[in-house]
Amino acid sequence: MIWAVILAGGSGSRFWPLSTPSNPKQLLPLAGPQSTALQAVTRLDGLVPRERILVVTGAGLAERMITELDLPRNNVLVEPRAASTAPALVWATWEAQRRDPSAQVLSMHADWSIREPDAFRHTAAQALSTALRHKRLVTVGIVPSRPETGFGYIVQGKPLDEVSRTVSRFAEKPDAATALDLMASGALWNSGLFAWTATVLMDEVRQHTDEIAPHLPLLEKGDVAGFFAAVTAVSIDVGLLERSAAVAVVPGRFTWDDVGTWDALPRVRSRDSHGNAVVGPVYLVDTDDCVIWSDGDPIIASGVKDLVIVHAHGRILVMPRRQAADLKAILDKLPPEVRDLP
Amino acid sequence: MIWAVILAGGSGSRFWPLSTPSNPKQLLPLAGPQSTALQAVTRLDGLVPRERILVVTGAGLAERMITELDLPRNNVLVEPRAASTAPALVWATWEAQRRDPSAQVLSMHADWSIREPDAFRHTAAQALSTALRHKRLVTVGIVPSRPETGFGYIVQGKPLDEVSRTVSRFAEKPDAATALDLMASGALWNSGLFAWTATVLMDEVRQHTDEIAPHLPLLEKGDVAGFFAAVTAVSIDVGLLERSAAVAVVPGRFTWDDVGTWDALPRVRSRDSHGNAVVGPVYLVDTDDCVIWSDGDPIIASGVKDLVIVHAHGRILVMPRRQAADLKAILDKLPPEVRDLP
């Protein structure tokens, strides 16, 4: 049966001051009226029922996730510590296999915006089919819409069948010129949407992931805390996909965004006729291409362009959109009593 | 004896959302820890005692002024309506003369910043002396420090004595090229600091100011409301100084600013090493030449320049400093419930 694993950890400080440790990015309605986490679950309707959706998150968010996503309590897996994506996905896949030895797993993140859910489900089904048929770890590669330097790329290899190919190599976040070359040569964005059977995933981890493989017996004993304490933090890309020969890629032709920063908001929300993405009581005069969000007081902006302006949790942030990716560095310069939010 | 008249009307919407009808510009600590109105009174220490300071203001502000300025109750003159500066100054001068037939009057505004109070008092004494000696209406002309287009200019005529001259003409707010010419040719800013004897002022008003002269009998009967209802609103400059031949000018070499807009704040307050004028909980990263005022939540600004950012009375305003003079036009575009503050 098909299972879904949704990675929903992370504090999301890149949406400060709207995102807080107790109300992080994935619980915010960034890309519409629902939180992106709820959108992630809703998007699976008709493909994966709630009882086969596993959510991996931190201890502080477990109750919020159960409520927000209306999931069975034991489908929310609480990571003892954040150890990047590989340990989380191995644990969740192992858990799916424990409940269903023939589990096929779709893995995704809780903070995505995807505009075409039908195309998403269609591609996910193709990826699962490829995973099953070719016994491979399948990544969905998004057809790029711009030479984005903030994503990794998948360079495609030879065809496996009508929809899937081998992976020639993974390219890390490129510089601008390389991104253009990659896009022109048909490389795809590495979205983080994966499909595999539990059997193949566990076999490949045992072969390639020294950071995790020696500690699998702890998991098999049910000692999750011991497993997380023992493993080395490593991403599924670096720790497994870049090492395994049994990788495949299926192209995804839907609009995908990881809503990584304030700057991404105009890509995933409707904009006014001046290109502004606006949420809350906001009044604009001659203002273009701004991102303005108020959970608090009315914001009146006039004559500005390309700014992020946010009022939330008793803080007001003003910065150029091009600095949005550097927000952590800005926050590091603030006194803790100003920066830290509950 | 020397009397002072301080004009303290006006709602000061140009400091929205900090200034409100009940807490207008002249009651705000714009140029230091005291309100500019209190600075205006304090600046007269040693020259004019409190019991000879008359403040003209609107009905809604009378109690605030009495408290803020620690003045005798009947020294706060409440205008029945705002009718520009001439009726207010005529009334206040007439009132000074009623209490002291030989009254010499210094007239000024409640919203100025003056950095050198000693030089101010010295110049004021010179202006009063000129007014008495030459029986003239004396304007203090500020030696310009920049070719400001927001002020009127006084073109000086021939010398009357060591410190004063006749006025050749008044020049309205000039364009940028004219302002440069005026500054280069020795013209002075028309500050609104005037000196006259009550006798000369009333004589000149009777001769030149048809908007007011026919209605003076109402004032003499004590019918202030009738006087204000009957007069035509007109400024002292247009209604009298530009018409009278008995005008003189004394140069003022002190730093004077009318703190007309948010943009003026860096001229009248200390700035940080990046040229920012900042009040309240404000945290800046790579931010230059901004005006940032919070009476409310912490404001964090990064990577911006030449902006005004204000949080006050539950409103957040963001605009370029160069738009500060146009704030009223911006406010006119807002819904009343957002614009109007108590």
> What are chain A's domains?
2-257 (3.90.550.10), 262-339 (no CATH)
Average pLDDT, chain A: 96
Please determine, for residue A302, whether its predicted confidence score (pLDDT) is greater than 90. yes
pLDDT at A155: 98
Please determine, for residue A189, whether its predicted confidence score (pLDDT) is greater than 80. yes
Q: Is B340 on the interface with A (CB under 8 A)?
A: no
Q: What is the mean pLDDT of residues A219-246?
A: 97
Residue B271 burial by Cβ neighbours in a 10 Å radius (0-12, 13-18, 19+): middle
> Of the candidates B298, B316, B330, which has its C-beta nearest A285's C-beta?
B330
Alpha carbon B338 to its chain's center: 28
Q: Which helix (H) or strand (E) holds B171?
A: strand B165-171
pLDDT band at A78 (very low <50, low <70, confident <90, very high): very high
Please determine, for residue B10, whether its predicted confidence score (pLDDT) is greater than 80. no
Nearest of A267, A265, A260, A297 to residue A282 by alpha carbon? A297
* B56 within 8 A of B93, measured Cβ to Cβ: no
Compute the count of residue pairs across chains A and B with CB atoms less than 8 Å apart.
97
Distance from the Cα of A267 to chain B's closest Cα (Å) equals 22
Q: What is the mean pLDDT of residues A322-335?
A: 96
pLDDT at A10: 76
Write the CA distances from B18 to B317, B327, B329, integer angstroms: 10, 13, 17
Residue of B nearest to A339 (CA): B300
pLDDT at A53: 98
Write the CA distances from B41 to B38, B68, B233, integer angstroms: 5, 10, 26
* A268 within 8 A of A186, measured Cβ to Cβ: no
pLDDT at B342: 83
Please determine, for residue A171, whether its predicted confidence score (pLDDT) is greater than 80. yes
Distance from the Cα of B37 to chain A's closest Cα (Å) equals 29
pLDDT at A104: 98
Sign of CA dihedral A206, A210, A216, A217: positive
Residue B265 token pair: 């704040």
Please determine, for residue A31, whether its predicted confidence score (pLDDT) is greater than 90. yes
Q: Which residues of B touch A283 (CB under 8 A)?
A: 333-335, 338
Q: What is the mean pLDDT of residues B299-306?
A: 98
- ipTM of the complex as predicted: 0.90
Distance from the Cα of B295 to chain A's closest Cα (Å) equals 12
Q: Is A333 on the interface with B (CB under 8 A)?
A: yes
Percent of chain A with pLDDT over 90: 96
Cβ of A283 and B316 within 8 Å?
no
Q: Is A229 on the interface with B (CB under 8 A)?
A: no
Q: What is the mean pLDDT of residues B204-228?
A: 97
Q: Which residues of A touch B301 (CB under 8 A)?
A: 317-319
pLDDT at A7: 97
pLDDT band at A257 (very low <50, low <70, confident <90, very high): very high
Distance from the Cα of B150 to chain A's closest Cα (Å) equals 21
Q: What is the mean pLDDT of residues A219-235?
A: 97
Query: pLDDT (tens digit, 9 = 90+) per residue, A112-132?
Result: 999 999 999 999 999 999 999
| More confident call, A299 vs B14 | A299
Q: Which residues of A touch B311 (CB under 8 A)?
A: 297, 311, 316
pLDDT at A342: 83
Block residue for tokens 């004077």: B256
Residue A41 makes CB contacts below 8 A (sequence gap 6+) with A6, A50, A53, A69, A70, A71
Bridge partners, residue B190, by sequence = B141
Percent of chain B with pLDDT over 70: 100
> Of the candidates B303, B319, B323, which has its C-beta nearest A319's C-beta?
B303
Cβ of B283 and A335 within 8 Å?
yes
Percent of chain A with pLDDT over 70: 100
Question: Which 1-30 residues of chain B touch chain A by CB within 8 A?
Answer: 17
Average pLDDT, chain B: 96
Residue of B nearest to A331 (CA): B300
Cβ of B283 and A314 within 8 Å?
no
| More confident call, B238 vs A10 | B238
Question: Which 246-305 residues of chain B touch chain A by CB within 8 A?
Answer: 281, 283, 285, 294, 296-304
Q: Which residues of B touch A303 (CB under 8 A)?
A: 319-320, 322-323
Q: What is the mean pLDDT of residues A302-330?
A: 97
Q: Which residues of B touch A281 (CB under 8 A)?
A: 338
pLDDT at B156: 97
Q: What is the mean pLDDT of residues A255-270?
A: 94
Q: What is the mean pLDDT of residues B147-152?
A: 93
Please determine, for residue B13, whether its predicted confidence score (pLDDT) is greater than 90. no
